[in-house]
């Protein structure tokens, strides 16, 4: 799949196909419905399936204090979109000039002139143009005038609630990664760099990789079962997020114990996905009690990861 940061190079590879516009943060099952229709329409018109996103998020320019913490980074988003049949993702350079375009001007400049789209696929709550003043009804009119086919995909609901990136953000912030996992096309993942910590884990038999410089939303404090991804492969991982009250440490940390892994990871990038929350952060009366609990965490992590891998 092509990941483009402008519409200048390889322009022909994204023209005359099916296009959808949005942020697609996290890539959840609601997005998957739109992308399924996108792929179907791209095949029908024998053109590419193209996702047009904004980089940075428009809110970061217009109201930076309200910018939501991302649920995915650009290359991860591209990977997830590729798995759903997308041919190209455009992370379009977003600035105030672009955001000041009227809905009509945006449609003409991007959809018609630059992409020559044959089909547009969106949800019913799609807004575009300056101050989000263009809605789906205006889009229908513009598509009709430009002879662009418009397909509107109804939102996906679970238990009467719309599956959305904002809902996912709420679940992750409260540590409900299992519920979030059911809404996502792949388990929620974070990325950071392994930095030196107190190195206390190794002395009690549970060495950990301390992840800093996170680029995505961090789940709530707690202990989780998940997996870590390295160049060497994938490792079942017990994840601790929060302070270490047993050792009177109040700093929030993300510490990962990769089961069976012994090499040094300092300075290396590390991606970690979350499968289930195991427990809250606790204070232990002694190091031996902590070790006993960590051993139970490891066993639980093995079982969770085995279930997740089973067909």
172-227 pLDDT tens trace: 999 999 999 999 999 999 999 999 866 666 667 788 999 999 989 999 999 999 99
Q: Is the pLDDT of residue 25 over 60?
A: yes
Q: Is the pLDDT of residue 267 over 60?
A: yes
3-state secondary structure of 278: strand
Answering whether pTM is above 0.95, one says no
How far apart (Å, rounded) are the C-alpha atoms in residues 136 and 307? 42
Strands 233-244 and 222-230: antiparallel
What confidence category does residue 79 fall into, taking pLDDT thresholds of 50, 70 and 90? very high
Task: Produce one character per residue of 126-148: b if its CB has 16 or more CB atoms within 10 Å, e if not.
Answer: bebbeeeebeeebbeebbeeeeb
Residue 7's pLDDT is: 76
Residue 199's pLDDT is: 64
Structural domains of the chain, with CATH:
2-161 (3.40.50.620), 187-309 (2.40.30.30)
Residue 67's pLDDT is: 87
Residue 277's pLDDT is: 98
Q: How is residue 28 annotated by DSSP?
A: B
Q: What is the DSSP string of 239-258?
A: EEEEEEGGGTEEEEEEEEEE
Average per-residue pLDDT for the chain? 92
User: Are 115 and 15 spatial neighbours (Cβ–Cβ below 8 Å)?
Assistant: yes
Span 66-95, average pLDDT: 94
User: Are 287 and 203 spatial neighbours (Cβ–Cβ below 8 Å)?
Assistant: no
Span 295-305, average pLDDT: 96
- What is the percent of the chain where pLDDT is above 70? 95
């Amino acid at each position: 799949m092509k990941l483009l940061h402008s519409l200048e190079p390889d322009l022909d590879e994204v023209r005359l196909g099916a296009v959808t516009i949005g942020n697609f943060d996290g890539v959840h099952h609601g997005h998957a419905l739109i992308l399924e229709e996108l792929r179907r329409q791209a095949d029908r018109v024998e053109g590419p399936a193209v996702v047009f996103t904004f980089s940075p998020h428009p809110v970061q320019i217009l109201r930076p204090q309200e910018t939501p913490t991302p649920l995915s980074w650009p290359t991860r988003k591209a990977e997830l979109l590729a798995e759903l049949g997308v041919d190209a993702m455009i992370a379009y350079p977003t600035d105030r000039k672009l955001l000041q375009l009227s809905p009509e001007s945006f449609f003409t400049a991007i959809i018609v002139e630059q992409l020559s789209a044959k089909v547009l696929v969106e949800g019913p709550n799609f807004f575009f143009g300056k101050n989000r003043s263009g809605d789906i009804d205006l889009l229908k009119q513009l598509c009709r005038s430009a002879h662009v086919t418009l397909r509107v995909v109804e939102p996906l609901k679970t238990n009467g609630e719309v599956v959305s990136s904002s809902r996912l953000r709420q679940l992750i912030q409260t540590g409900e990664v299992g519920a979030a996992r059911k809404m996502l096309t792949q388990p929620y993942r974070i990325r950071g760099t392994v930095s030196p910590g107190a190195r206390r884990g190794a002395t009690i038999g549970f060495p950990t990789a301390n992840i800093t410089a996170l680029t995505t939303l961090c789940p709530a404090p707690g202990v989780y079962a998940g997996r870590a991804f390295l160049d060497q492969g994938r490792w079942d991982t017990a994840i601790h997020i929060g302070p270490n009250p047993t050792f009177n440490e109040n700093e929030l940390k993300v510490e990962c114990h990769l089961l069976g892994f012994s090499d040094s990871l300092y300075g290396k990038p590390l991606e970690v996905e979350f499968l289930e929350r195991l427990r809250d952060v606790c204070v232990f009366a002694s190091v031996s009690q902590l070790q006993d609990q960590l051993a139970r965490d490891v066993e639980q992590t093995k079982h969770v990861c085995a279930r997740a891998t089973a067909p």
